[in-house]
Amino acid sequence: MYPSDFPQFQTAAGTIVARRDGRVVRATGIRYARAKRFQYPEPEPVAASPIVATAPAPACPQVADARLDEVLGDLYQELTFSEDCLRLSVTLPADADPAEQLPVLVWVHGGSYVTGAGDLSIYDPTALVTEQRVVFVAVTYRLGLLGFLGSEGGTPPNLGLLDLLEALRWVQRNIAGLHGNPALVTLLGHSSGADAIAQLMLTAEASSLFRRVVLHSAPLGITRHRRAMSRAMVAAAGPLSALGPVGEVLARESSVTKSVRRFGLKSGMPFGPQYGAPPLPPETAVEETWAAVAPQFDVLIGATAEETRFFAVIEPSLNRLLRLPLLGAPVVRLLTTLSSNAIYLHPAIAFARRHAQAGGRAYHFLVHFQPTGSPFGAAHTIDLPLLLGTEASWAATPLLGQTKWAEFNEAARQVRQLWAGFARTGSLPAPVEVPGVLSLRQVSKAE
């Protein structure tokens, strides 16, 4: 049973029982769909009894990466793992009025399609929600072999993308009951989450599910021409049991990852969407489809200035190179520049240019913040605390170095204001410079 003073919301899904948490209300761990292993998601039916949404969504079972723990802390200390992970969590201002119909930001977490969860503490949206009066929806979906590898006649490809579509349909049906405006839905994603959003723009019903996208550090430079690698991964995975312990699937996933290292940069993120399988068009039609749908979406896309420095610091072999006297640091800087440009920076600019030339509104940003005393510089993930998380959640990480939270948060407040403004209107007062942190400009059709 739940206390009588817990907030209750009447939605199409049923009565949702949430909890107050200071200045916000959280409705967490709500099922949007169910799926048997390696099967398509089925939307959650209307609940006959109240939906008690007071526990975090479980994370999808995944292979642990100790390197991430060293950088980002114990991310999963408050979460469980379960294949019953097709859940979402909604955060809204505690004083929200039903008549406000606030803009909605749907968060799609990153993690190379193999790690992460919607309810990690570093993704706490309290500051964004309370300062900017938005409704924030964090989605958890299937990863790795459970969600992003398939073949004709075998496991269906793109199950994780199909999960996300079910979550977005749930938002359209229910978010008004949680004080959100279904006509003002913006997708916000980081890394593989941003890539997933770019792929969702290609789907037939995208324009009925969201209006705007914010893409942080999408690895668009390594998401194409992956058919041969995917075939090799399917062969390495072999037949997978739909009934055995999930640990057996995860063990096979580790073997699959190691088997495709010969594919170069793409093997750094071997799992991901597969073109030509529902809900995506054939790869030959991707560019023309993005161009065709451009007028339907407003786009804000960008990256950090030294994206792959993150991996140079956490990858043992590159870290050893970094520590070599004289040549080590210059060589790593060169490798960082080349790989960051190829995977993240140049593809982001190309995406924005194509979108603008095809009649869509596009903005491009670059995060150049370099924390004092941090080996990471303006690396991958340095943009996350500008939007999400708290001092407590980020203080446990070495990412921000010796940066004083109060000073950093003042700059972050400006970024949150810009991003929320984009979610409301689709436009920004570009060009903008947040000194020492971020630059932003509108991309024109003439570029």
φ, ψ for residue 336 (rounded to 5)? -65, -45
User: How far is C-alpha 219 from the chain's CA centre?
Assistant: 12
DSSP 41: -
Which residue among the candidates 109, 179, 364, 380 is catalytic per the annotation? 380
Which residue among the candidates 307, 364, 374, 393 is catalytic per the annotation? 307
| Omega prior to 375 cis, within 30 of 0 | no
CB 16 within 8 A of CB 177: yes
Tokens read off for 225: 């021409």
For residues 139 and 52, what is the distance between their CA atoms, to the nearest angstrom? 17
The candidate with the shortest Cα–Cα distance to 439, out of 356, 360, 363, is: 363
Give the number of other Cβ atoms within 10 Å of residue 372's Cβ.
Answer: 9
CB 236 within 8 A of CB 263: no
Decide if 166 is catalytic: no
Decide if 307 is catalytic: yes
Tokens 């406000």 — which residue? 100
Which residue among the candidates 191, 217, 267, 374 is catalytic per the annotation? 191
Residue 415, classed as helix, strand or coil, is helix
For residues 398 and 367, what is the distance between their CA atoms, to the nearest angstrom? 18
Give the pairing of strands 298-304 and 212-216. Answer: parallel
- Residue 137: partners with Cβ closer than 8 Å, 6 or more residues away: 88, 89, 90, 104, 105, 106, 107, 167, 171, 175, 180
For residues 133 and 126, what is the distance between their CA atoms, to the nearest angstrom? 10
User: How far is C-alpha 165 from the chain's CA centre?
Assistant: 14
For residues 340 and 333, what is the distance between their CA atoms, to the nearest angstrom? 10
Active site residues: 191, 307, 380
